[in-house]
A and B are shown apart, each in its own frame.
Chain A
Amino acid sequence: MKRNIIPYSLFIALLFGCISCNKFLDREPETALTQQQVYSKLENIEPLLSGLLTNWRDIHKDRGGFVFQLGTDETQQGAYQVMTDPDQSALDKYGSYLAASNNALTGQWNPRWPIVSAAAQAVFALENLKDSSNGGKRKELLGEASFIRAAMMFELTQYWGRIPIIDAAKLNELGTGRQPLKDIYTQITTDLTTAVEDLPETQADKKNITKYAALSLLGKVYLYAPDSSGFRDFNKAAGYFKQVIDSHKYQLVANFADLFDPSKPNSTESIYEFQFNNVYPDNNQIQWQMGSRALANIDGNCYFGGYDLLVPTKYCYSDKKDGGIWETGDVRKDASIRYDFTYHDSIHPTIPAGFGGDELDPHVKKYEDPRTQGVLSFWYSGKDVFYLRYADILLNYAECLNELGNTADAVAIVNDQVRKRAFGGTLPDADRWSASMSQEEFRTQILDERMRELCFEGWRRMDLIRSGKFVDLIKARNKWAKESGTIQTYNELYPIPLTEILQNSDIPDTDQNPGYNH
Chain B
Amino acid sequence: MNGHDIFDLRVDAYANAYMDKNPDADRQDYINRYLLSDSSIAFGAYELAAYRNGDSYDWLDRVTRTGFKQNHTISFSGGTEKGTYLVSLNYTDQNGLMQKSDYQRYSGRVNLEQNVKSWLKIGTHTTFSKTTENVVDGSVFSAALGANPLLAIDTTDLAYLKWSDIKNQDQYNPLLSLNILNKQYLTRVLSSNYISVTPVKDLVLRSTFSIDNMDQQQYKYVPAHTGQDLRNSYHGSAEHYKSETLNLQWDNTATYDLHMGAHRLNLLGGMSIQKNTSNYNDIQAHGFPNDDFGYKFLNGAYSKDQTVLASDFVTTSLMSFYARADYNYDQKYFATATVRYDGSSKFGPDHKWGTFPSIAVAWDMAKEDFMNDFNWVNQFKIKAGYGIAGNQNIHNYAMYSLYRPTTTNGQFVYVSDGRLGNPDLQWERQKQLNLGVDMSYLNNRLNASFDYFKINNSNLLMNKTLSTVTGFTNTVANVGELTNKGVEFSLDYAILKGTGLNWNVNFSISSSKNKVTALYADVDAIYNKGGYTGVEIQPTGNLFLGQPVNSIYLYKFKKIAQASDMDQIKNVDYGGRTIHPGDIIPEDLDGNNIIDDNDRTVVGTLDPKYYGGFGTTLSYKGWAFNAFFNYSEGGKRISYLYNSLIGSTGMSAASDDLLNRWTPENTNTLIPRVAYGESVYSYGNVDLGVQDASFIRLATCTFSYTFSSKLRPSFLDNLRLYISGTNLLLWTKDKGFDPETGDDYPNSKSIVVGLNLAF
- Interface residues in chain A, defined as those with a beta carbon under 8 Å from any beta carbon in chain B: 3-4, 6-7, 10, 13-14, 17-18, 21-22, 24-35, 37-38, 44, 47-48, 50-51, 53-55, 80, 82-84, 86-87, 89-90, 93, 95-101, 103-104, 106-107, 109-114, 116-118, 120-121, 164, 166, 176, 205, 207, 275, 277, 279-282, 293, 296-297, 300-301, 352-355, 357, 375-377, 379-380, 484, 486, 497-500, 502-505, 518
Q: Which 4 A/B pairs are nearest by Cβ-Cβ distance?
A: A354-B164, A117-B471, A97-B576, A352-B165
The answer to whether A107 and B527 touch across the interface, beta carbons within 8 angstroms, is: no
Neighbouring A residues of B318 by C-beta, 8 Å:
25
Neighbouring A residues of B576 by C-beta, 8 Å:
86, 90, 93, 95-99, 484, 486
- Interface residues in chain B, defined as those with a beta carbon under 8 Å from any beta carbon in chain A: 40-44, 47, 119-120, 163-167, 195, 197, 199, 205, 207, 230-233, 252, 271, 273, 275, 305-306, 311-319, 343-346, 349, 352, 396-397, 400-406, 408-409, 411-418, 421, 465-473, 521-523, 525, 527, 529, 531-537, 573, 575-576, 592, 594, 596-598, 651, 676-679
Mostly, the A contact residues are: helix
The answer to whether B199 and A4 touch across the interface, beta carbons within 8 angstroms, is: yes
The answer to whether A107 and B534 touch across the interface, beta carbons within 8 angstroms, is: yes
The answer to whether B403 and A101 touch across the interface, beta carbons within 8 angstroms, is: no
Residue on B with the closest CB to A176? B469
The answer to whether B573 and A114 touch across the interface, beta carbons within 8 angstroms, is: no
**A50–B414 alpha-carbon span in the complex (Å):** 7
What is the minimal beta-carbon distance from A199 to any residue of chain B, in angstroms? 18
Residue on B with the closest CB to A44? B414
What is the minimal beta-carbon distance from B596 to any residue of chain A, in angstroms? 6
The answer to whether A110 and B230 touch across the interface, beta carbons within 8 angstroms, is: no
30 contacts between A and B (CB under 8 A): A6-B197, A7-B199, A24-B273, A24-B317, A25-B318, A27-B315, A27-B346, A32-B404, A32-B417, A33-B404, A35-B400, A35-B401, A38-B414, A47-B412, A50-B412, A51-B413, A55-B415, A82-B677, A83-B678, A117-B469, A297-B165, A297-B167, A300-B230, A353-B40, A354-B165, A354-B651, A375-B233, A380-B233, A499-B529, A504-B469
Starting from the known contacts A10-B207, A25-B343, 12 additional A-B residue pairs (CB-CB under 8 Å) come to: A10-B205, A18-B271, A21-B343, A25-B344, A31-B312, A35-B421, A84-B677, A90-B576, A104-B533, A107-B535, A114-B468, A296-B167
Neighbouring B residues of A83 by C-beta, 8 Å:
676-678
**A135–B521 alpha-carbon span in the complex (Å):** 43
**A342–B547 alpha-carbon span in the complex (Å):** 60
The answer to whether A25 and B312 touch across the interface, beta carbons within 8 angstroms, is: no
Neighbouring A residues of B404 by C-beta, 8 Å:
31-33
Neighbouring A residues of B319 by C-beta, 8 Å:
17, 21, 24-25
The answer to whether B471 and A47 touch across the interface, beta carbons within 8 angstroms, is: no
Among candidates B317, B598, B679, residue contacting A86 with C-beta atoms closer than 8 Å: B679
What is the minimal beta-carbon distance from A70 to any residue of chain B, in angstroms? 14
Among candidates A48, A301, A499, residue contacting B403 with C-beta atoms closer than 8 Å: A48
Neighbouring A residues of B417 by C-beta, 8 Å:
32
The answer to whether B472 and A114 touch across the interface, beta carbons within 8 angstroms, is: yes
Among candidates B275, B415, B534, B679, residue contacting A51 with C-beta atoms closer than 8 Å: B415
The answer to whether B41 and A353 touch across the interface, beta carbons within 8 angstroms, is: yes
**A372–B651 alpha-carbon span in the complex (Å):** 31
Neighbouring B residues of A27 by C-beta, 8 Å:
315-317, 345-346, 396-397
The answer to whether B400 and A352 touch across the interface, beta carbons within 8 angstroms, is: no
The answer to whether B164 and A499 touch across the interface, beta carbons within 8 angstroms, is: no
> Are A26 and B345 CB-contacts (below 8 A) given A31-B312, A280-B306?
yes
Neighbouring B residues of A166 by C-beta, 8 Å:
469, 471
The answer to whether B679 and A379 touch across the interface, beta carbons within 8 angstroms, is: no
> Are A35 and B44 CB-contacts (below 8 A) given A22-B352, A106-B535?
no
What is the minimal beta-carbon distance from B232 to any residue of chain A, in angstroms? 7
Neighbouring A residues of B164 by C-beta, 8 Å:
352-355
What is the minimal beta-carbon distance from B40 to any residue of chain A, in angstroms? 5
What is the minimal beta-carbon distance from A470 to any residue of chain B, in angstroms? 19
**A51–B413 alpha-carbon span in the complex (Å):** 5
Residue on A with the closest CB to B308? A280
The answer to whether B413 and A50 touch across the interface, beta carbons within 8 angstroms, is: yes
Neighbouring A residues of B346 by C-beta, 8 Å:
27
Neighbouring B residues of A87 by C-beta, 8 Å:
533
Residue on A with the closest CB to B274? A24
Residue on B with the closest CB to A120? B471
> Are A47 and B401 CB-contacts (below 8 A) given A14-B252, A121-B471, A502-B525?
no
The answer to whether A99 and B473 touch across the interface, beta carbons within 8 angstroms, is: no
> Are A25 and B472 CB-contacts (below 8 A) given A34-B403, A281-B408, A377-B232?
no
Neighbouring B residues of A504 by C-beta, 8 Å:
467, 469
What is the minimal beta-carbon distance from B336 to any residue of chain A, in angstroms? 23
What is the minimal beta-carbon distance from B725 to any residue of chain A, in angstroms? 45
Neighbouring B residues of A110 by C-beta, 8 Å:
468, 473, 535
**A221–B47 alpha-carbon span in the complex (Å):** 56
> Are A54 and B400 CB-contacts (below 8 A) given A101-B597, A117-B469, A117-B470?
no
> Are A47 and B313 CB-contacts (below 8 A) given A113-B468, A118-B416, A164-B469?
no
The answer to whether B403 and A31 touch across the interface, beta carbons within 8 angstroms, is: no
What is the minimal beta-carbon distance from B342 to any residue of chain A, in angstroms? 10
Neighbouring B residues of A107 by C-beta, 8 Å:
533-535
Neighbouring B residues of A300 by C-beta, 8 Å:
230-231, 233
The answer to whether A47 and B414 touch across the interface, beta carbons within 8 angstroms, is: yes
Residue on A with the closest CB to B17? A83
Neighbouring A residues of B411 by C-beta, 8 Å:
47, 50, 205, 207
**A357–B119 alpha-carbon span in the complex (Å):** 89
What is the minimal beta-carbon distance from B476 to any residue of chain A, in angstroms? 14
**A33–B413 alpha-carbon span in the complex (Å):** 12
Residue on A with the closest CB to B592? A518
What is the minimal beta-carbon distance from B750 to any residue of chain A, in angstroms? 41
Neighbouring A residues of B529 by C-beta, 8 Å:
499
> Are A354 and B232 CB-contacts (below 8 A) given A27-B317, A47-B405?
no
Neighbouring B residues of A44 by C-beta, 8 Å:
414
Neighbouring B residues of A293 by C-beta, 8 Å:
166
What is the minimal beta-carbon distance from B311 to any residue of chain A, in angstroms? 8
**A47–B406 alpha-carbon span in the complex (Å):** 10
Neighbouring B residues of A301 by C-beta, 8 Å:
233
Among candidates B166, B403, B575, residue contacting A354 with C-beta atoms closer than 8 Å: B166
The answer to whether A14 and B271 touch across the interface, beta carbons within 8 angstroms, is: yes
**A509–B216 alpha-carbon span in the complex (Å):** 50
The answer to whether B343 and A518 touch across the interface, beta carbons within 8 angstroms, is: no
The answer to whether A518 and B598 touch across the interface, beta carbons within 8 angstroms, is: yes
Residue on B with the closest CB to A115? B471
Neighbouring A residues of B314 by C-beta, 8 Å:
30
Neighbouring B residues of A353 by C-beta, 8 Å:
40-44, 47, 164-165
What is the minimal beta-carbon distance from A7 to any residue of chain B, in angstroms? 5
Query: Which of A87, A99, A114, A117 has most B Cβ within 10 Å?
Result: A114
Neighbouring A residues of B405 by C-beta, 8 Å:
47
The answer to whether A114 and B535 touch across the interface, beta carbons within 8 angstroms, is: no
The answer to whether B535 and A33 touch across the interface, beta carbons within 8 angstroms, is: no
Residue on A with the closest CB to B465? A503
Neighbouring A residues of B167 by C-beta, 8 Å:
296-297
**A26–B275 alpha-carbon span in the complex (Å):** 11
> Are A7 and B400 CB-contacts (below 8 A) given A279-B306, A354-B42?
no
**A114–B467 alpha-carbon span in the complex (Å):** 10
What is the minimal beta-carbon distance from B428 to any residue of chain A, in angstroms? 17
What is the minimal beta-carbon distance from A391 to any residue of chain B, in angstroms? 25
What is the minimal beta-carbon distance from B249 to any residue of chain A, in angstroms? 13
**A503–B466 alpha-carbon span in the complex (Å):** 7
**A452–B535 alpha-carbon span in the complex (Å):** 35
**A37–B400 alpha-carbon span in the complex (Å):** 11
Residue on B with the closest CB to A380? B233
Neighbouring A residues of B470 by C-beta, 8 Å:
113, 117, 176
**A76–B721 alpha-carbon span in the complex (Å):** 72
What is the minimal beta-carbon distance from A81 to any residue of chain B, in angstroms? 10
Residue on A with the closest CB to B232? A377
What is the minimal beta-carbon distance from A104 to any residue of chain B, in angstroms? 7
> Are A10 and B252 CB-contacts (below 8 A) given A32-B402, A89-B679, A117-B469?
yes
What is the minimal beta-carbon distance from A383 to any residue of chain B, in angstroms? 14
